[in-house]
A and B are shown apart, each in its own frame.
Chain A
Amino acid sequence: MATELPQAPADRPAPRRLPVLQGGVTRRTTVKALGATLGLAAFARAIAPLTEWARDIPVDRFLQRHYRELTPEAMQTLLRQLEQETREQYGAEVHIEDVKPTPGVAFGYALNLSVCNGCRRCAEACHIENNHDRASQESYIRVLEMSKGSMDMERGRVDYAGPNPDPDKFYMPVQCQQCDDAPCVKVCPVEATWKESDGIVVVDYDWCIGCRYCEAACPYHARRFNWTKPQVPAAEVNPDQAYLSNRIRPQGVVEKCHFCLHRTRKGRLPACLEACPTGARVFGNLLDPDSEIRRVLADKRVYVLKEELGTRPRFFYFFDV
């Protein structure tokens, strides 16, 4: 037995309705409408972080190209924009440059473990020079207190309190080794980190997606992640900045030691070297046979950390013999 559906009068056409409503409101259409609404709500929720991001970042910064694809004009525009952002967000007048590597220069660093006394002034100088977040006391340098007779950096301590040096220990500052075959560069899924022609491994902070693969890949624990937006008082912001080095980093990106390229690419010594009170650090151009770093390699028995990994660091350690 079938009930006849109510028919529209033949003399006037059926009113135009949404197709889903053509049969009238039924349980099935209600459930479907509910499902569609929930689906759209879930979609909106899923893309909500993108809309929040768009609020924080201007459109042209969102569409910004990779460092190596930026034209000089676009870079200049971007640098002025970054200076403006620093002024607004930190209240500090800074000068941000894009310092290029010098042809014929390849940087090398050596550290004399016989005289390092573990005072951590290098780590402190790095913290100040590179506009690190004050609260987390971040620094690119980690000084390990090592037992004499052991070279296992995984067994070094960082939380020693002195007085230094302990006669049974030696002190080994570890920072980015600027590897020639850098694992961090190889794992980056977006090529936000790469090795420059003067040997410095750099990060484009605006291209990094914060996946932290590089942090996991680095055998020297040299990479740092910005868990929070760095907080630096305006009076303490180092105004001498470069795009690839010590400009204040955004939240959620990875950073690392860059041999103070805003200083060293202009001929100056790195901040950690100048801060070292014992003269343990030697820095220079590996391609200049008269440089101090070449004399270290010629005169001293140098070693590199975790040589067996084949990373070929440009950071050398030695003991006075």
Chain B
Amino acid sequence: MRLPFTNDPSRPRRRRLVLGALAAAGLVAAFGAGSWAAARAQAPTPAPDEAPAPAGTADHAGASGAEADRPRPGEVRRLAPAYVPRVDTGLVDRAGAPVLVSCGTCHATRPPDPGRCATDDAMAMHRGLVFAHGERSCLACHDPGDYDRLRLAHGEPVPFAEAPRLCAQCHGPQQRDWERGLHGGMNGFWDAARGGRERHACTSCHDPHAPAYPLVTPVFHPPDPLAGRGRPIPARGAEGGAHGH
């Protein structure tokens, strides 16, 4: 019995047609994906605006011409506690607000006694005061002639607003770095031509009676890397891994 397709002269043509159709489908698939990827992967040409534009940028690019307009580093605004400290008496007034008094309120009525500085009696008078600033006497910084101001080592009085001058007597390197902008936090603009900034004074961050920066509880704990997405992080000895995410 002769099979219907043997020796049929149209068979090879038909096979070519079917194979060709399949091949065409494959080509379309390959080309479609490939051209899309090629479009994404096409290397961009460098944009013409990369070149420095001289116009309108003289205050940043030109050094000499803009120096006059630019505030000097000493002109930036600095936050200093421009106030006389108030002490909480533990009393409240008729409106319920705490009664605060200046140091001079009590100290004006009694003569200064350097010998009593470190006694429990003195500490009891100053409610809530924690003293951890070395072996200093109160009068190393406070002016016995006027407790609403401070006193430098050579006797010159300084207002509380200029407390950094007093701190600098012992903490020279910190004062030097602070003057140069390397110590202490700041807010605002790095570019003095475009805005001011706030610098913090020593006592903005440090309690003058206990100046060591306190221990803190870190915020924003990273998610457990082993519980998170992605592959688990292999432990690296006792130290743990740096790959937190």
Q: Smallest distance from the beta carbon of B15 to chain A beta carbons, Å? A: 9
- Which residue on chain A has the smallest CB distance to residue B240? A157
- Which residue on chain B has the smallest CB distance to residue A104? B61
B40-A209 in contact (CB<8A): yes
Task: Please classify the interface of chain B as helix (H, G, I), strand (E, B), loop, or mixed, using the class held by over half of its residues.
Answer: loop
Say whether B98 faces chain A, with CB atoms less than 8 Å apart: no
The residues of B that contact A102 with a CB separation of less than 8 Å are 57, 60
Contact with A along B34-77 (1 / 0, CB 8 A): 00100111111111011011100100110000000000010000
The residues of B that contact A157 with a CB separation of less than 8 Å are 239-240, 242
Name B50's contact: one of A2, A65, A197, A296 (CB within 8 Å).
A197
B180-A295 in contact (CB<8A): yes
Q: A68-B45, A69-B47 are in contact. Are A161 and B182 (CB under 8 A)?
A: no
Residues from 96 to 136 in B contacting A, C-beta threshold 8 Å: none
Residues from 87 to 123 in A contacting B, C-beta threshold 8 Å: 100, 102-105, 112, 115, 117-121, 123
The residues of B that contact A165 with a CB separation of less than 8 Å are 215
The residues of A that contact B32 with a CB separation of less than 8 Å are 47, 50
Q: Smallest distance from the beta carbon of A291 to chain B beta carbons, Å? A: 7
Say whether A199 faces chain B, with CB atoms less than 8 Å apart: no
Q: Smallest distance from the beta carbon of A295 to chain B beta carbons, Å? A: 5
B61-A5 in contact (CB<8A): no
Q: A23-B8, A274-B187 are in contact. Are A267 and B29 (CB under 8 A)?
A: no
B4-A120 in contact (CB<8A): no
Q: A120-B219, A269-B189 are in contact. Are A207 and B40 (CB under 8 A)?
A: yes
Say whether B2 faces chain A, with CB atoms less than 8 Å apart: yes
Q: Smallest distance from the beta carbon of A318 to chain B beta carbons, Å? A: 9
Say whether A56 faces chain B, with CB atoms less than 8 Å apart: no
A155-B237 in contact (CB<8A): yes
11 contacting pairs across A/B (C-beta < 8 A)? A20-B18, A36-B18, A68-B46, A69-B47, A103-B60, A127-B220, A137-B223, A269-B188, A285-B191, A290-B73, A292-B181
- Which residue on chain A has the smallest CB distance to residue B199? A279
Q: A191-B44, A267-B194, A290-B73 are in contact. Are A119 and B219 (CB under 8 A)?
A: yes
Interface footprint category on B = 35 or more
Given contacts A66-B44, A68-B44, 5 further A-B contacts (CB under 8 A): A161-B217, A164-B216, A264-B190, A267-B193, A299-B180
- Which residue on chain A has the smallest CB distance to residue B5? A23
Q: Smallest distance from the beta carbon of B227 to chain A beta carbons, Å? A: 11
A156-B239 in contact (CB<8A): yes
Name B223's contact: one of A136, A153, A273, A299 (CB within 8 Å).
A136
Tell me the complex Cα distance, A25–B178, Å: 93
Name A136's contact: one of B28, B47, B189, B229 (CB within 8 Å).
B229
Say whether B225 faces chain A, with CB atoms less than 8 Å apart: yes
Q: Which of A139-147, A178-186, A231-239 contacts B (4 or more CB under 8 A)?
A: A139-147
Say whether A3 faces chain B, with CB atoms less than 8 Å apart: yes
- Name A residues whose Cβ lies closer than 8 Å to a Cβ of B: 1-3, 5, 19-20, 22-24, 26, 28, 32, 35-36, 39-40, 43, 46-47, 50, 63, 65-69, 100, 102-105, 112, 115, 117-121, 123-124, 127, 136-139, 142-144, 147, 153-165, 189-191, 197, 207, 209, 221, 224, 227, 264, 266-269, 273-274, 276-279, 282-285, 290-292, 295-296, 299-300, 320
- Which residue on chain A has the smallest CB distance to residue B226? A159
Tell me the complex Cα distance, A295–B2, Å: 98
Say whether B1 faces chain A, with CB atoms less than 8 Å apart: yes
Q: Smallest distance from the beta carbon of B132 to chain A beta carbons, Å? A: 16
A105-B60 in contact (CB<8A): yes
Say whether B80 faces chain A, with CB atoms less than 8 Å apart: no
Q: Smallest distance from the beta carbon of B7 to chain A beta carbons, Å? A: 9
The residues of A that contact B193 with a CB separation of less than 8 Å are 267
Name B60's contact: one of A104, A112, A161 (CB within 8 Å).
A104
Say whether B158 faces chain A, with CB atoms less than 8 Å apart: no
- Which residue on chain B has the smallest CB distance to residue A1? B1
Tell me the complex Cα distance, A25–B91, Å: 105
B222-A158 in contact (CB<8A): yes
Q: Smallest distance from the beta carbon of B85 to chain A beta carbons, Å? A: 21
B229-A124 in contact (CB<8A): no
Tell me the complex Cα distance, A5–B10, Å: 14
Say whether B154 faces chain A, with CB atoms less than 8 Å apart: no
Contact with A along B11-37 (1 / 0, CB 8 A): 001100110011001101100110010
Say whether B83 faces chain A, with CB atoms less than 8 Å apart: no
Tell me the complex Cα distance, A273–B181, Å: 13
Tell me the complex Cα distance, A63–B39, Å: 9
Tell me the complex Cα distance, A104–B54, Å: 10
Q: A292-B181, A295-B182 are in contact. Are A26 and B239 (CB under 8 A)?
A: no
Q: A139-B220, A155-B239 are in contact. Are A23 and B45 (CB under 8 A)?
A: no
Tell me the complex Cα distance, A176–B243, Å: 14
Q: Smallest distance from the beta carbon of B40 to chain A beta carbons, Å? A: 6
Q: Smallest distance from the beta carbon of B242 to chain A beta carbons, Å? A: 5
The residues of B that contact A36 with a CB separation of less than 8 Å are 18, 21-22
A279-B205 in contact (CB<8A): yes
A269-B5 in contact (CB<8A): no
Interface-central residue, B10, B21, B49, B183, by most chain A CB under 10 Å: B183
The residues of A that contact B45 with a CB separation of less than 8 Å are 68-69
